Amino acid sequence: MTAAVGIRGVTKRFGTDVTAVDDVSLDIVDGEFFSLLGPSGCGKTTMLRMIAGLEFPTEGSIQIFGEELALKPPNKRPVNTVFQSYALFPHMTVEKNVAFGLEMRKVPKAEISEKVATAIKAVHMDGMENRKPKQLSGGQQQRVALARALINRPKVLLLDEPLGALDLKLRQAMQIELKDIQAEVGITFIYVTHDQEEALTMSNRIGVMEAGKLLQVGTPEEIYERPVNRFVAEFIGETNFINGTAVEDDRVRLADGFVVHAISDAPPETDVTLTLRPEKVQIHTRDATDIPPERNQLPATITRQLYYGESLYYEIEIPGGELLDARLENIPSLRRWDVGTEVTISFHREAAEALTS
């Protein structure tokens, strides 16, 4: 099957010393909601702009449904973009903005007005056809930008942090709406964001980028549960890092000779970093005997308690002096621990992963 978007060895250099995108290869499946996730300056927007044709790759190939278009101008590509700042034409009404793409493609007038009316209705902007972008709220501008892109039925829709400028409540509502629209139109969405939560909740798959490189591609679950390196583990969600040394049989030796089981590919005697999510740590009394055998155990001391409402955070000191966070859901039966209490912590042997980089 041909990929909706096939990216092969794409590199983008600005001048001689800035490499914005560094040898990225990636296949995006038809109908997929794919997110490019990374901190600002990681190259995700540049990657998106190269798919749109607003930037041309220095090297590599970009294909859409098998058609090579790395060097085609943007107006000759079957893709449309929802820009971060919406980029609505300020001198045109909502109606004119939405009609722009069809007019440029010389679609008959009657067909345009019919399609524009439908598109405006689809994003619940009917009744505001004659307003100028300035007279709309951020959320409304967002909807118009979406309608203006989707009306052209692109093969791929590119979205550059489209919800970045909205406040939290509206952003959450728009996330759901975007998901629904995508399911309805069945168009491949490529979504650029620096918000890991947004990427996790909305995407079929996520590509994590850093410093121009594509570090990991996978489902939200794969990215969260099995990060490939420290950067991915730390960027997506919260995590604890524990230094150790790999030993045979998927085990890791920690400070003071404690050995725990973990998911590990590392050859014996290499330095590794264990990543362990705070919510996967449990706290028991020091002399607890009911801890299941598939869970690792470590003696520890409570050093801090933070109350977050829906959860409680405990900062715990483990052998070797390293500090871990444990997040416990605030359920009625939750046992509280005083600072200074000596406890035993446990985590499942598949909850910790040994990273070599």
Neighbouring residues of 38: CB distance < 8 A, sequence distance ≥ 6: 44, 194, 208, 209, 210, 235
For residue 343, what are the β-bridge partners?
285, 300
Nearer CB in complex with other proteins: 90/332: 90
Length of the chain (residues): 357
Which residue, chain included where needed, has tokens 């007019």?
103
Nearer CB in complex with other proteins: 105/304: 105
Least Cβ distance, residue 55 to other proteins (angstroms): 10
Nearer CB in complex with other proteins: 7/99: 99
Nearer CB in complex with other proteins: 79/354: 79
Least Cβ distance, residue 19 to other proteins (angstroms): 19
Which residue, chain included where needed, has tokens 């971060």?
84
Least Cβ distance, residue 91 to other proteins (angstroms): 5
Q: How many CB atoms lie within 10 A of CB 55?
A: 18
Nearer CB in complex with other proteins: 92/255: 92
Residue among 48, 19, 17 nearest 207 (CA): 48
For residue 273, what are the β-bridge partners?
243, 355
Least Cβ distance, residue 54 to other proteins (angstroms): 5
Least Cβ distance, residue 70 to other proteins (angstroms): 16
Binding-site ranges for other proteins (CB under 8 A):
52-54, 73-75, 79-81, 83, 85, 87-91, 100-101, 104-105, 148-149, 152
Least Cβ distance, residue 149 to other proteins (angstroms): 8
Distance CA 192, CA 304 (A): 37
Least Cβ distance, residue 17 to other proteins (angstroms): 16
Nearer CB in complex with other proteins: 156/266: 156
User: How would DSSP label each residue in 64-102?
Assistant: ETTEE-TTS-GGGSSEEEE-TT----TTS-HHHHHHHHH
Least Cβ distance, residue 242 to other proteins (angstroms): 45
Nearer CB in complex with other proteins: 87/312: 87
Distance CA 161, CA 320 (A): 42
**Cβ-contact 315, 303 below 8 angstroms:** yes
Q: How many CB atoms lie within 10 A of CB 290?
A: 6
Phi, psi (rounded to 5 degrees) for 88: -75, 145
Nearer CB in complex with other proteins: 90/340: 90
- For residue 53, what are the CA distances in angstroms to 4, 147, 197, 267, 320? 16, 20, 28, 44, 53
